[in-house]
Each structure stands twice: as structure tokens, then as C-alpha cells.
Amino acid sequence: MTKTMGTIICEARKNKNMTQADLAQIMNVTDKAVSKWERDISCPDVTSLAKLSETLGITLEELMSGQPADKKQKQIDLVELVCIAVSFAMGIAVLILSVLSKLELETVPVKTENLIIMLSVGLVTTGFSKLRSIEK
């Protein structure tokens, strides 16, 4: 749900247990200016938005977009990244070992069991990664 900048400022200020006068003092404006911001009559000066977001404990994106910042979505999920990397590595290893076994090089013994194990690990990590993405 999109909120107006004024609504976001008002809610964030109240969450910080600040009065309009408190916020005005920090921002070097009048309490009437803060009141106008919160009623969407005017907006804070562009040069003061960073200080305002920091003071209110919200991101600039949240202040400007009117939507709460979804930190979970923006952070790289390390477990999922590792799963994808392992899946990719196992697929490449199986492909390379399969090609080497076709070439029948004496220096590289390729066992079918090893290929099946690597393929299984790749499939399991791919499945695990997909399950995690569904849960989100």
C-alpha cells in the first residue's frame, strides 16, 4: 500500500516519540513547516531529505516511494546463492567428466558412480534452492 510522504513522516515521527516541534528543531525549520509536510501541503527541501530519513529512521527509498523498504528482498540470500553455485559446478563437472570418458583418456579414470553422485548433489541443491524461493 502506497502512503503519502506526509503520512510516512507523521508515522515515523510518532514512532520515534517526537513532537512536530522536536522534528522541526532537528531539521532547522518551523513546526508549521513540519505540519505542512505531514498534511501534504508542502514537501521538505530536497537537500534535507537525507537528514530527514536518517532522523526518522527510515530509508530514503521508503520516504520517497511511500512503500516500506523490503530488506529481505534486497539482500542476497547467501544459502540460495551457494545452492545455485553448487548446482552449476556439479553440472559443469558432470559434463566435463562425461566428455573425458568419451575421449577414453587413460590418465583420467571416470567412474559412473562419481558422475551419479555429482549429478545428485546438483539436483538436490537446485531443489533446495527452489523450495526456499517458493517459501518467500
Q: What is the residue-level pLDDT of the chain in tens, covering all 136 positions? A: 678 899 999 999 999 999 999 999 999 999 999 999 999 999 998 889 999 999 999 888 888 877 766 544 445 567 777 777 888 888 787 777 777 777 665 555 667 777 777 777 777 777 777 776 665 5
d(CA 77, CA 68): 20
d(CA 95, CA 116): 12
Q: Are 39 and 9 in contact (CB under 8 A)?
A: no
Q: How many other β-carbons are positioned within 10 Å of the β-carbon of residue 53?
A: 20
DSSP-assigned letter for residue 45 = -
Amino acid at 52: L
Evaluate if pTM is beyond 0.85. Answer: no
Which parts of the chain fold into alpha helices (H)? Answer: 5-15, 20-27, 31-38, 49-56, 60-65, 71-74, 78-103, 112-135
